[in-house]
Amino acid sequence: MKDNEIFGAEGIVIHGDKIVLGMQSSSRWYTLNNGKTAAILKTIGGAVEKQDKNNTRNTLIRELLEEIKGINIEDIKISENIIFTKEIKMKDINPYEINSNLKMKADFYIVNIPSNVCLSPNDLPVLVEIPIDKLLNMEFSTDYSLKNISNFLIKKKEKLKIPDNYAIMAPKEMKQYLNNNCDKKNKERIAFDFDGVIANTTLKKHEWLKNINISLDNVDKTSIYEELSKTYSKEKIDDIYMKMSKEIFTERVLLETEAIEGAINTLKKLSEVYDIYIITARTQTLILQVEKWLKKNNLKESITKIISSSFKNKQDICIDNNITFLCDDDIRHLKETKVKNRVLFKNEKSLKFEDYGIKSVNSWEEVEKILI
């Protein structure tokens, strides 16, 4: 084997309904260009050593006992057969080592540890226990803020310093195996509009309209057309709305746009309980901007899927995807009764819509009270 190649064993450790990953020691953390620190989270395992007698199963047992505190050999149930063997280039799975020539070849096993066994880090600074269903919605080999998974950390010491960012270093075959073979918690699916509910593009619309001497209480599309129809022709309103959209719905403006107060924290909480969908009238091209905004605001991992409603009714999309709750700031998407739980967000005229069986809220705090 060449000097730049490593052969070892890795365990996909299942602890109840969670996957256990380990964080590198601080001596192996990375300093990013912005001055922040980052660490790799990886499966439990390591390189084959002489004492393992060239047996990767022996390697894995040794590594598990060294890296995880609170387990005995009797607690560890390792698959009899290798699940898959993977040859990996470090630069392909570690975003912090894109210039590395290091290669690894590892036998991957499944390791089951009973859920009643309490785990803590031994040689590692931190263990991370991530619910399987959440892990399957996370992107591997991608740099993220560690705040996104702070609830899943088990520290060796309570006051231990942790890095700012992280990336999961694992091959795609791990996800494939878990998707095909593990029971995942079936979460209820809920959906939110993006503009005016999550991102405060409402403020941007008010500012734009004010510049042409138009002042409205509500600036969702339905309200704009209703209010302006008292003064302008439909052709004129179409022209105003098109010009506003061209300026508002750009990547530059969106990335400058703040989240609605309370949206980020509430969505992170809700993602622990629900699968969260965003259903937006933005086209598929504009959804790429939404993904960048979510990543910038550390929300990407909290969202299961983004769906464009530019060619389909939002409630029909909900039915197609077994979504039971829809929150939007435009009443036209909520008047139908195909979705049982419908919530109108931040609309001063919301009271007159109660006859449709729609609840109305004016804050994310109220959304949280409804759902949790």
Note whether 177 and 206 are same-domain residues: no
Range of the domain at 216: 202-254
354 C-beta neighbours (distance < 10 Å), count: 11
* pLDDT mean over 124-136: 91
Note whether 285 and 335 are same-domain residues: yes
Residues paired with 345 in a beta bridge: 361
Q: What would the pLDDT profile of 297-335 be if each residue is shown by its tens digit?
A: 999 888 988 999 988 999 999 998 889 999 999 888 998
Assign residue 323 the CATH number of its domain: 3.40.50.1000
Note whether 238 and 357 are same-domain residues: no
pLDDT value for 246: 84
Note whether 150 and 37 are same-domain residues: yes
Helices (H) and strands (E) in the chain, counts: 12, 20
pLDDT value for 314: 94
Instruction: Determine the residue type at 203.
Output: L
Note whether 232 and 269 are same-domain residues: no
Residue 70, SS3 per DSSP: coil
Q: Sorting pLDDT into bands at 50, 70 and 90, what band is 183?
A: low
Assign residue 18 the CATH number of its domain: 3.90.79.10
Residues paired with 343 in a beta bridge: 327, 359
* pLDDT mean over 9-19: 92
Note whether 250 and 155 are same-domain residues: no
Note whether 53 and 157 are same-domain residues: yes
Sign of CA dihedral 161, 164, 170, 174: positive
Number of domains in the chain: 3
Note whether 227 and 306 are same-domain residues: no
Note whether 66 and 143 are same-domain residues: yes
Note whether 245 and 277 are same-domain residues: no
Note whether 365 and 310 are same-domain residues: yes
Q: Sorting pLDDT into bands at 50, 70 and 90, what band is 350?
A: very low
Note whether 82 and 230 are same-domain residues: no
pLDDT value for 351: 47
Among the candidates 132, 148, 181, a domain finishes at 181
* pLDDT mean over 200-215: 84
pLDDT value for 3: 53
